[in-house]
A and B are shown apart, each in its own frame.
Chain A
Amino acid sequence: MVKEIEKTGMPVVHICTVVPISLTVGANRIVPAVAIPYPLGNPELDEKDEKALRRKIVEKSLEALQTEVDGQTVFED
Chain B
Amino acid sequence: MSKKRVVHYINQFFAGIGGEEKADIKPEIREGFVGPGMAINKAIDADAEIVATVICGDSYFNENLEEAKKTIIEMVKKHKPDLFIAGPAFNAGRYGVACGSIAEAIKEELNIPVLSGMYIENPGADMYKKSIYIIETGNSAATMRKAVPAMAKLTLKMLKGEEVGAPDEDKYIPRGIRKNYFAKDRGSKRAVDMLMKKLKGEPFVTEYPMPSFDRVEPSAAIKDLTKAKIAIVTSGGIVPKGNPERIESSSASKYGEYDISGFTNLTEESHETAHGGYDPVHANIDPDRVIPVDVLRDLEKEGVIGELHNYFYSTVGNGTSVNSSKEFAAEIAKKLQNDGVDAVILTST
Contact = CB atoms under 8 A, between A and B. Distances in A.
A4 interface: yes
B93 A21 contact: yes
Given A5-B332, A15-B346, A57-B292, A66 B281 contact: no
B62 interface: yes
Contacts of B62: 17-18, 36
Interface stretch (B140-148, B175-183, B193-201, B220-228): B220-228
A5 B328 CA distance: 10
Contacts, number: 191
Contact of A40 (B63, B223, B285, B347): B347
Contacts of A27: 346
Interface in A13-31: 13-18, 20-22, 24-29
B191 interface: no
A3 B282 contact: no
Interface residues of A, number: 52
B292 A54 contact: yes
Interface in B226-282: 228, 230, 233, 235-236, 278-282
Interface of A: 1-18, 20-22, 24-29, 33, 35-41, 43, 50-51, 54-55, 57-58, 61-62, 65-71, 73
B42 interface: no
B299 interface: yes
Contacts of B192: none
Contact of A37 (B217, B283, B336, B347): B283
A55 B305 CA distance: 13
The 10 A-B residue pairs whose C-beta atoms are closest, nearest first, are: A41-B289, A4-B329, A28-B218, A1-B329, A16-B348, A38-B289, A11-B219, A3-B216, A5-B333, A12-B344
B330 interface: yes
Contact of B346 (A13, A43, A54, A73): A13
A14 B232 CA distance: 10
Nearest to A5: B333
B341 interface: yes
Interface string B308-345: 00000001010000000110111011101100011111
